[in-house]
Amino acid sequence: MAANSDEPDRWPVETLRATGIWRSFDGVQALEGVTLELARHEVVGLIGPNGAGKSTLVNIITGFDVPDRGNIFLGEDDITGWSPHRLGRSGLARTFQATHSFQGLTVRENIEVSALGSGAKPVAAARTADRLLEMLDLTDSQSQPAGILPHGHERKLGVARALATNPSFVLMDEPAAGLHEGEVIEFASVIRDVRDEHGAGVLLIDHNIGLILDVSQRIEVLDQGRTIAAGLPDEIRGNDAVATAYLGTTHTEADDD
């Protein structure tokens, strides 16, 4: 819930669930009965090869698509088919593979606009920007236009914009894409801060297996629209089906990724 009356209220929910999700496009089955649960204060990794259905699932959960069958629940409330705007005001946020920042606005203005758009008052939006600039180490860049940010800072701004809506859950779609090794290590700390300092649940999609194994408490694996494995990082690391379907290699080679 919000810390003061100037910030948008959030439902005191502890779980986000997708149950029995089916989705097809032009006869191609993108998802087949996928079920996934995310709790507050945890990071769940979602991995799989290209075309496995990961982004389709995230789009459905966040209101950018609707399932053919199945339901999405925020706590006990069925939110299937809600608009992205309504979901955003109810505590659900996401980041995108491509930047969605306002390129002509400064870093600070981008964060404040996101907070205002979720219902915060101007004073609260400014306080939110102060907190997130410090949390994500963007204070020195706050006056720069978003359009000239280096790639790593641009990714951080995407997270800051999502957190500015005061979410209970954040879904991150390829947040580490294009980052070099040092930036990935730094970004791992950002994800932990979202979980630990902000208290949100994080669903993390990324092809950087090292990052997924490092920050996730649980990992779900999709292949051809179906869940083929779910478990702790060490269980997924040693799973033959995952090595074959996603990594396409042996355990030893997979561990080197």
- Which of left, alpha, beta for 81 (phi over 0: left; psi -120 to 50: alpha)? left
Q: Is 70 helix (H, G, I), strand (E, B) or coil?
A: strand
Whole-number Å distance between alpha carbons of 244 and 110 = 42
The pLDDT score that the predictor gives to residue 2 is 41
pLDDT tens digit string along 68-92?
999 999 999 999 999 998 998 889 9
Q: Report the C-alpha gap between 248 and 201 in whole angstroms.
A: 30
Q: Give the confidence band of 187 by pLDDT, cuts at 50, 70, 90.
A: confident
pLDDT band at 167 (very low <50, low <70, confident <90, very high): very high
Indicate the pTM of the whole model: 0.85
Q: What is the pLDDT at residue 183? A: 84
Q: What are 13-70's pLDDT values in tens digits?
A: 899 999 999 999 998 999 999 999 999 999 999 999 888 999 999 999 999 999 999 9
- Residue 199 near residue 135, CB atoms below 8 Å: no
Q: How far apart are CA 222 and CA 178, in angstroms?
A: 23
**Average pLDDT of the residues of the chain:** 87
Q: Which residue has the tokens 């995310």?
A: 38
Give the single-character DSSP code of 8.
Answer: P
Residue 234 has pLDDT above 80, yes or no: yes
Distances in Å between the alpha carbon of 39 and those of 14, 28, 214?
6, 31, 18
Domains (range + CATH), the chain = 15-100+169-255 (3.40.50.300)
Beta bridge partners, 229, equal 221
Is the CB of residue 98 less than 8 Å from the CB of residue 76? Answer: no
Place of tokens 């951080």: 156
> Which residue, among 256, 220, 248, 241, has the nearest Cα to 53 in the 3D structure?
220
Q: Which residues contact 185 (CB under 8 A, 6 or more apart)?
A: none
- Identify the residue whose tokens are 């600039």: 133
Question: Is residue 5 pLDDT above 90, yes or no?
Answer: no
Q: How many CB atoms lie within 10 A of CB 107?
A: 28
Which residue would you say has higher pLDDT here, 70 or 248? 70
Neighbours of 142 (CB within 10 A): 17
- 253 pLDDT more than 60: no
The mean pLDDT of 187-199, rounded to a whole number, is: 89
Is 188's pLDDT higher than 70? yes
Please work out, in degrees rounded to the nearest 5, the angle formed at the alpha carbon of residue 203 by the alpha carbons of 244 and 118. Answer: 155
User: How far apart are the C-alpha atoms of 227 and 214, rounded to whole Å?
Assistant: 21
Query: What are the backbone angles phi and psi of residue 160, rounded to the nearest 5°?
Result: -60, -40
Q: Please state, in angstroms and rounded to a whole number, the distance separating the CA atoms of residues 4 and 168.
A: 16
